[in-house]
A and B are shown apart, each in its own frame.
Chain A
Amino acid sequence: MAQKLYITTSPHIHCGDTIERNMRWVIWALMPALLASFYVFGLGALIVTATSVLSCLFFEWFITKFILKRPSTLGDLSAVITGILLAFNLPSNLPIYMIVIGALVAIGIGKMAFGGLGNNPFNPALVGRVFLLISFPAKMTSWPVPAGFATSYIDAQTGATPLNLIGQIAGGNTAAADQLPGLGDLFLGNIGGCIGEVSALLLLVGFVILLCSKTITWHIPVSILGTVTVLTGIMWLINPVLYVNPLYHLCSGGLMLGAIFMATDYVTSPMTTKGMVWYGIGIGFLTVVIRYFGSYPEGMSFAILIMNAVTPLINNWCKPKRFGEAVK
């Protein structure tokens, strides 16, 4: 027998899944929403998304090469996703230097400072977004209105988003209800807001892609959306004049984007299905609380970051159902 043999313990076969495969599917699943944003916000969406992705790639390359002195990790595509998700959480008229700062914070502080992919406790894109929100509150909270393949960028016309209006209504200004767009426009995405969050329909298409490719399971998105529906539904039933129909909540702001793409980030979400459900309920609850009682119109980013912090505890508390446990 001439040939040398490998000696490794079982299993000897692998299903072929890789980090890249999962990341690629997330990118594919983000594409429908990206197309919607081009349609709704035009050139600005393109500029912001491209800037964000390129800056994230650059900072990850720079940090691995010159600071960590490790082989490049660009190939795992996670920086591309961070870039897209960061852009999706920004208004389409944000100046370039702010986007670059956001990317630096997302990749540098949010991810690489902890040791790169797999070690970050918080969703990097959200770290970048919240940093920008606190640093540049005015620019970060004025959203362009839909303009249909517009070529304007910084000078885009801005206006109130559905979430602003929902907040005003809850605050007693019931006249604002007249300005609320129809549910159809909300669902399709013909509304103002951050780049990637406008079209609930196309975000749901992305959800189906993620489910069919077995990239994520349904637990986190469904528990978040379910919790928001139930809580806002109760408030609506109590006082339909002040509190809008839960469907408005589901289709407005970053809820869909956050529930489907941000909260499901592998690294920062719980490991067991039971844990995922509790995590989703927590995010849904905090989102509603911040939307109705906080000083920001949108609570999704904060809700996810807070629940990211709770994830290690959830992992400790929520154990899978062990085989044979029930009959002990």
Chain B
Amino acid sequence: MNTFKIGGVHPEPNKLTADRKIETLGLPQQAVFPLSQHIGAPAVPCVQKGDSVRVGTRIAEPGGFMSASIHSSVSGKVAKIDTIVDASGLRKPAIFIDVEGDEWEPSIDRSEKLVLQSTKTREEIIECIKNAGVVGMGGACFPTHVKLCPPKECTIDTLIINAVECEPYLTADHRLMLEHPDEIIIGIKVILKVLGIDRAVIGVEANKPDAIDLLRSKTSMVSGIEVMPLQMKYPQGGEKQLIEAVTGRQVPPPPALPANVGCVVQNVGTVFAIYEAVMKNKPLIERIVTVTGQDVKKPCNLKVRMGTPVSQLLEYAGGMPEDTGKLISGGPMMGRPLLDDTAPVVKGTSGILLIPAKDAARKQERNCIRCAKCVQACPMGLEPYLLATASESSDWECAEENWIMSCIECGCCQSTCPSRRPLLDWVRLAKNRVGGIIRARNAKK
């Protein structure tokens, strides 16, 4: 079975919710929409305080080419445009909407009926995706319409669908594949049409045999779409690792893109969003969120309107256990800690993970014993111990020479370190500094 070649770790999968059907969470009383839910420029509000909106009404427009629209997921009145602390831990501007009823934009097809064909041209499809505010649903939130327009000089030959879900605990993509396989396959065909190619590979880790079987039976009559089981290893869902696992090609270091090796990668959740945007004219206003954790009473997979506060999801899952020590948006390897449960669900919220207090605190850091386990774990072939030491002593030159900008922040090094060193903290700091130095150097040229 295929997998990526360098490094990688095997965290406990802990997929507690793999068998839980997707349930629909009720409407919130107030929905909050941060303006930066994606990589790139923040969106610009196009509503004002007091405006009435419906489900699907655009409330913020893209703030540039690399940006995305934001739509209201509820009907009601704009209460205020203020700030909120989001998963980045920073205070960011956001639109607050008080919910009244559940009135949808009439243009949205709300029926369950599968739409198989579309007469839209390539340009119309991209426009549709852009207007629907679709971004990468795997967590990075890269605007999808940008990703579907690879640089002209690159020849794309393979579309890779990221259905790996290598993060422990998360099952949102797994459930989506089991419950909406037809929509996903139509979505893949739409993307193939946009890219003008005829080969797609769905990469799924071998711990989801039911999804592999189902997708295989659905694609047996479809030419050009292959389901590829992959050996379980974290971080296989990383874009570069997945491309290597599927095609054997390695993306060169930044600023090279997957397109440079002929690949476009889309998360399976994004494919579903593309189907809804193109075939149902439905903007990105809902997503599947896994609410999970060892001590959660009722771990579940929920279909949630964007902007719903995390507290409402936790309530549905049986409340936050007394001993909760950390609240994470996303998975345990790359997720971000939340300050409290008032944070809203945004486009990139793949899961809400509760960690018990006993596991939440970091252990005492000790001397590096030079065991080299971080070097063996790093999937990018870096030396985390060296990069962390360079960062500690502000030796940015050494960090740059040793490829620090290649780091994908997967966390393998730190989760492996027997001395519990905060390797990734130091690497992030140095990446930030070195990135600044490189940008300044390029600006001078």
> A328 with B252: in contact, given A11-B332, A322-B403 (CB under 8 Å)?
yes
Stretch with Cβ within 8 A of B (4 or more), from A18-26, A35-43, A194-202: A18-26
Q: Choose one: B341, B379, B382, B383; the contact of A1 (CB below 8 Å).
A: B341
In the complex, B256 has a CB within 8 A of chain A: yes
In the complex, A13 has a CB within 8 A of chain B: yes
B249-264: which have CB < 8 Å to A? 249-253, 256, 261
A118 touches B383 (CB 8 A): no
> A14 with B375: in contact, given A6-B326, A19-B366, A324-B406 (CB under 8 Å)?
no
Q: Choose one: B253, B320, B382; the contact of A320 (CB below 8 Å).
A: B382
In the complex, A229 has a CB within 8 A of chain B: no
Complex CA distance for A187 and B256, rounded to whole angstroms: 55
Q: Choose one: A11, A15, A266; the contact of B370 (CB below 8 Å).
A: A266
Complex CA distance for A3 and B337, rounded to whole angstroms: 14
B370 touches A7 (CB 8 A): no
How would you classify the secondary structure of chain A's contact residues: helix, strand, loop or mixed? loop
* Most chain A beta carbons < 10 A, residue from B240, B261, B383: B383
What chain B residues lie within 8 Å of A8 (beta carbons)?
Answer: 326, 337, 360, 362
A203-229: which have CB < 8 Å to B? 217
Complex CA distance for A118 and B256, rounded to whole angstroms: 37
In the complex, A327 has a CB within 8 A of chain B: yes
What chain A residues lie within 8 Å of B335 (beta carbons)?
Answer: 10, 12
A328 touches B376 (CB 8 A): no
Q: Choose one: A10, A15, A22, A320; the contact of B424 (CB below 8 Å).
A: A10
B339 touches A7 (CB 8 A): yes
Q: Choose one: B325, B336, B406, B415; the contact of A6 (CB below 8 Å).
A: B325
Complex CA distance for A12 and B328, rounded to whole angstroms: 9
CB < 8 Å A-B pair total:
171
What is the number of residues of chain A that contact chain B, defined by CB distance less than 8 Å?
Answer: 45
B332 touches A324 (CB 8 A): no
What chain A residues lie within 8 Å of B298 (beta carbons)?
Answer: none
In the complex, B317 has a CB within 8 A of chain A: no
> A13 with B334: in contact, given A118-B368, A272-B372 (CB under 8 Å)?
no
B419 touches A19 (CB 8 A): yes
What chain B residues lie within 8 Å of A7 (beta carbons)?
Answer: 89, 326, 337, 339
B368 touches A10 (CB 8 A): no
In the complex, B425 has a CB within 8 A of chain A: yes
In the complex, A319 has a CB within 8 A of chain B: yes
In the complex, B56 has a CB within 8 A of chain A: no
* Most chain A beta carbons < 10 A, residue from B12, B381, B412: B381
15 contacts between A and B (CB under 8 A): A6-B326, A9-B428, A10-B424, A12-B335, A12-B360, A18-B418, A18-B420, A19-B366, A115-B367, A117-B367, A267-B370, A320-B381, A323-B251, A324-B253, A324-B406
12 extra interface residue pairs, beta carbon distance < 8 Å, beyond A12-B355, A115-B367, A266-B372: A3-B357, A6-B357, A8-B337, A8-B362, A10-B409, A13-B12, A22-B418, A271-B386, A276-B372, A323-B406, A327-B252, A327-B261
Interface residues of B (CB under 8 A from A): 6, 9, 11-12, 89, 168, 240, 244, 249-253, 256, 261, 311, 320, 322-328, 330, 332-341, 353, 355, 357, 359-363, 366-373, 375-376, 378-383, 385-386, 402-403, 406, 409, 411-412, 414-420, 424-425, 428
